[in-house]
Amino acid sequence: GEDVEQSLFLSVREGDSSVINCTYTDSSSTYLYWYKQEPGAGLQLLTYIFSNMDMKQDQRLTVLLNKKDKHLSLRIADTQTGDSAIYFCAERYSSASKIIFGSGTRLSIRP
Amino acid sequence: EAQVTQNPRYLITVTGKKLTVTCSQNMNHEYMSWYRQDPGLGLRQIYYSMNVEVTDKGDVPEGYKVSRKEKRNFPLILESPSPNQTSLYFCASSSGAGGGNNEQFFGPGTRLTVL
């Protein structure tokens, strides 16, 4: 069945790069997403990548997709305190109606 | 302002007392969905709706009902809540099924506690 896995926690020093990793199982996924959830708020779409792409860059965010290993990563350059949040990886399943979310990675920033 | 609203934001209730969590969107979106968020489990889809009068089960539909009589509203109904339904609930909407540019917009969440 479909599954999306992430580590639960990541701690980085302010100014360093953060790399959040995700693995998924459905090789027929068409889109893969990264969502950000700040405390007390809903999820906000950060970025997405189409499955025929290897990389997508958007300002401080870089998404890398390794289809062979079914591995997705989100790199945040120059991590700031405002980046503290839970980051969810998600895949759009082959049927149009379903998006599967990972458990979320809580990113904390050290001074 | 384009948004998804949920009410109530917080609710404490007792086992067996029927409740409804409302969800409304002002973006004329066809697709709406309910998720529950539990620690270590991420978001799990409860029900979704592709359009008015079209609803279908997600991954964890047991104990829940939904209806879609109007495009803007998608209420979540718990006929007989139980403690294992204590969770954080999110409603989401999108113009399509949430793929690519059809971004899913999430409501602020409803924290439900069932005693």
Per-residue model confidence as pLDDT tens digits over B20-64: 999 999 999 999 999 999 988 889 999 999 899 999 999 899 999
Identify the pLDDT of residue B42.
86
pLDDT lower than 70: segments of chain A: 1-2, 93-97
Longest dimension (CA), chain A: 44
Measured between CB atoms, which of A4, A31, A43 is closest to B100? A31
Higher pLDDT, A28 or B76: B76
Assess whether pLDDT exceeds 60 at residue B98.
Answer: no
CA-based nearest residue in chain B for residue A35? B104
Percent of chain B predicted with pLDDT > 70? 94
Q: What is the pLDDT of residue A92?
A: 79
Q: Which among B45, B99, B108 has CB closest to A42? A: B108
Cα B90 to Cα A40, A43, B45, B105, B106: the distances in Å are 12, 9, 9, 10, 7
**B108, closest residue in chain A (CA to CA):** A42
Nearest to B100 among A41, A48, A98 (CB): A48
Tell me whether residues B41 and A98 touch, CB distance under 8 A.
no
pLDDT bracket for residue B97 (50, 70, 90): low
Structure confidence at residue A1 (pLDDT): 53
Interface of B with A (CB under 8 A): 4, 31, 35, 40-45, 48, 50, 56, 58, 90, 92, 96-100, 103-104, 106-109
B88 touches B71 (CB < 8 A):
no
- Most B CBs within 10 A among A3, A20, A43, hence the mutation to make, goes to A43
pLDDT score for B44: 92
* Residue A97: per-residue pLDDT: 62
pLDDT at position B40 is: 82
